[in-house]
Structure 1
Amino acid sequence: MSTSTGGGVPASRFLFLGTRAGHSIADAEYEAICHYAGLPTSRMDRVRLEEGPMPQIDLDRYAGVITGGSPFNSSDPITEKSVVQQRVEADMSKILDEIVARDMPFLGACYGVGTLGTHQGAVVDRTFGEPPGTGHIELTDAGRADPLCVGLPDKFDAFLGHKEAVRELPSHAVLLATSGPCPVQMFRVKKNLYATQFHPELDSTGLIERLQEYRHAGYFHPDELDRLTREALASEVVHPQQILKNFVEVYA
């Protein structure tokens, strides 16, 4: 991971690690993260892990690393994981070894819970999976004091949809946000390693794109698409995006 890919890069650059197959949905996620983080794409390098093995990455080039959602589930039995999924998980685990050792700024949205959580010894399973839609999130005392949650109200709505979640955090992790249906919605490890179960990059348009893309992926019954689309359009999810903006402002 230590071989540089070039020189002269300012420390305010960030790295995005994507795992979504399909160019349109992968591009939409990347562009949404850049948009709400307040970064031009010229300052957010991207690696699509589902397309091939992790290239050599010099983490010294970056102020922080962000990863988004995924069709992969860390808790799936090994016999159900494709060759691609197993490779992606091995690559993510390897780079997390270095990121965690450095306590390097890291923000994982949705799949970040499975990857960082599993890496740190959390129990990740399907106990607290949630269908796509709006979730009611509440900050903990630690969350209200955390710099990534500055500007968030104590309670806010967020878009989510996931088959797995953290059932039990390791003792060294700090719970930052919770909800009734899913107790672990956001946590921190060490000082700079974060994961959210909800999607801070999603607005209603983005959620509808995901609903259409994953209509037959087992997150919801296909006949529910119209209802979920109407609910997305009627939702007012305006606060979670602040987390992306805060991440860049704190670490750039």
Structure 2
Amino acid sequence: MTTPRFLLVSPRTGEEIAAAERGDFLRATGLAESDLDQVVIDSTDAVVGSLDGYVGIFVGGSPLNITTDSPSAYQEHVHAQLAPLVGGPLPAFFVCFGAGFVTDLLGGHVGRTHPEAAGPTTVELTASGRRDVLLRDLPHEFPALTGHTENIVIPALECEVLATAPSCPTQMVRYGDHTWACQFHADMDPQAMKTRMDFYRDYGYFNAKDYDDIVATLPEVDTRAANQILANFVRFCADYQPR
């Protein structure tokens, strides 16, 4: 029997960071190397391509911002590539940047009211989250890793809010029955966060003078529940039948 195949779409530039991100998703999902393909949208020539043969899609984070006043041609291209994945024929899971992207695409509002510095956050499931197929076997409150300068201010009307947090009111949403987006990094463990911080020291995700202090606290963060969400998504996709 052929193992289900997944696609990771990485809307970012840089071969090393893209490779590190793929490693993060492999670890969090438990997928084998051969089960996770990756396409990196690093230019206006890069495209998602055919989805034939895949059972699910992950969309990784990005240094792009939805709140950018004048998006570049590259960012507009990224948006055009990602838009068909929202509510498309295959289950999709968007991480970090994707939370804002999905919200904006569906008519919600993204702003900079509740940024979170790189490091731990506390995720709290809503009543809807406790019933969600990806979340219902998780603790109602669990730690995760995060780092973002913009956030969902007003969720799209068509989205169900699944998780919140004291530091950022909307942490995870679902659109329809097979598209999810989370603000926190369900793909990361402490080492992954350190690696990501090393790549993006000057992007405003944390104060550079706090780097050593943040890194020192990372090993204390238990990301197993957050990572389990992606493993649950893999199981969901294997059994998913379009309505």
Spell out, residue by residue over 1:40-66, the C-alpha distance to the aligned partner (whole angstroms, 9 max, x if none): 121111110014534362334211110
Structure 1 distance, partners of 2:56, 2:88, is 14
Counterpart of 1:249?
235
Counterpart of 1:90?
80
Spell out, residue by residue over 1:82-106, the C-alpha distance to the aligned partner (whole angstroms, 9 max, x if none): 332232222222x33xx5243x311
Q: Give the counterpart letter for 1:155 in structure 2.
A: E
2:177 is aligned, of 191, 195, 198, to 191
- TM-score by structure 1 length? 0.88
Counterpart of 1:100?
87
SS at match of 2:230: helix
Spell out, residue by residue over 1:193-242, the C-alpha distance to the aligned partner (whole angstroms, 9 max, x if none): 10000001111100111111111111122111101111112323321000
1:20 is aligned, of 9, 12, 16, to 12
Counterparts in 2 of 1:103-252, with a 5 A limit? Answer: 104-252=90-238
Structure 2 distance, partners of 1:88, 1:234, is 35
Asked whether the equivalents of residues 142 and 174 of structure 1 are also in contact (C-alpha less than 8 Å), the reply is yes
Structure 1 distance, partners of 2:78, 2:47, is 12
Counterpart of 2:241?
none
Asked whether the equivalents of residues 212 and 225 of structure 1 are also in contact (C-alpha less than 8 Å), the reply is no
- TM-score by structure 2 length? 0.91
Counterpart of 1:44?
36
Number of equivalences: 238
Asked whether the equivalents of residues 104 and 156 of structure 2 are also in contact (C-alpha less than 8 Å), the reply is no
Structure 2 distance, partners of 1:36, 1:181, is 24
Q: Give the counterpart letter for 1:91 in structure 2.
A: Q
Q: Which runs of 5+ in 2 are unaligned?
A: 239-243
SS at match of 1:184: coil
Asked whether the equivalents of residues 53 and 88 of structure 1 are also in contact (C-alpha less than 8 Å), the reply is no
Counterpart of 1:59?
51
CA 1:56/1:137 → structure 2, altered by over 3 Å: closer, same or farther? closer
Structure 2 distance, partners of 1:53, 1:90, is 12
Deviation at 1:154, TM superposition (A): 0.4
Structure 1 distance, partners of 2:178, 2:49, is 19
SS at match of 2:134: helix
Spell out, residue by residue over 1:101-160, the C-alpha distance to the aligned partner (whole angstroms, 9 max, x if none): 43x311001011022111111111111211111001100111111111143100000000
CA 1:56/1:144 → structure 2, altered by over 3 Å: closer, same or farther? closer
Using the aligned pairs only, state the percent identity: 33
Deviation at 1:11, TM superposition (A): 7.7
CA 1:236/1:100 → structure 2, altered by over 3 Å: closer, same or farther? closer
Structure 2 distance, partners of 1:211, 1:56, is 26
Q: Give the counterpart letter for 2:38 in structure 1.
A: R
Deviation at 1:169, TM superposition (A): 1.0
Higher mean Cα deviation, 36-45 or 133-142?
36-45
Structure 1 distance, partners of 2:226, 2:169, is 17
SS at match of 1:107: strand
Structure 2 distance, partners of 1:38, 1:138, is 24
Deviation at 1:15, TM superposition (A): 1.1
Aligned Cα RMSD in Å?
Answer: 1.8
Structure 1 distance, partners of 2:233, 2:220, is 28
Asked whether the equivalents of residues 10 and 61 of structure 1 are also in contact (C-alpha less than 8 Å), the reply is no
Structure 2 distance, partners of 1:11, 1:208, is 32
